[in-house]
Amino acid sequence: MRKTLPFLALALGTAALATGCANVENKFSRGMSNMFEVTRLGELQRSVEQTGLYDGPEAGYSVGMVKGINRTLARTGLGIYEVVTCPFPPYGPVWTDYLAANPVFPDSGPPGFPDDSLYATDAHLGFSGGEIAPHVPGSKFGIFNGP
């Protein structure tokens, strides 16, 4: 027993150093991002938007909603799978024939940095932009947002 524990610790340490952690880190972060799709609802918004554009507004609110819920639950399940299996290969994105590798956003509201003094300072005016109503969900109107 005395000789097996140091050997086991040495074997585990060698395995951890030999495999590296960049792949595990990427898979874990992708899994966390996918796992919180339930709170972000990007798939739902995009499915309603895209179905409404291609099939009409009636289909967008009915078929698009059902399709969006299905894709949201699928992406959440994929995220849970990737978080649980992050130490084990394959490290690349899986199930890409149904879902994109990274979370999607609706085309009408792509993500970006907020107009805040932290990201967009303006020393000449003394102030910078910002959202008009940041406490209102879905508020995208901001000061100094140009095309």
Domain total of the chain: 2
Residue 128 in tokens: 């910078």
Asked whether residue 33 falls in the same domain as residue 78, the answer is yes
79 and 27, same structural domain? Answer: yes
For residues 75 and 89, membership in a common domain is answered with yes
**pTM listed for this prediction:** 0.65
Rg (CA), the chain: 22
Q: Per-residue DSSP letters for the chain?
A: -TTHHHHHHHHHHHHHHHH-SHHHHHHHHHHHHHHTHHHH-HHHHHHHHHHHHHH-HHHHHHHHHHHHHHHHHHHHHHHHHHHHTTTSS--S---TTTS-SS----TTS-----S-TTTS--TTTS----BS-TTSTT---BTT---
Asked if residue 50 belongs to a domain, the reply is: yes
Q: Please check whether residues 101 and 126 belong to one and the same domain.
A: no
pLDDT on residue 55: 93
Residues 92 and 125 in one domain: no
Q: 96 and 140, same structural domain? A: no
Q: Are 110 and 51 in contact (CB under 8 A)?
A: no
Quickly state the pLDDT bin for 70 (edges 50, 70, 90). very high
Q: What is the pLDDT of residues 12-46, one digit of tens each?
A: 766 665 566 778 889 999 999 999 999 988 899 99
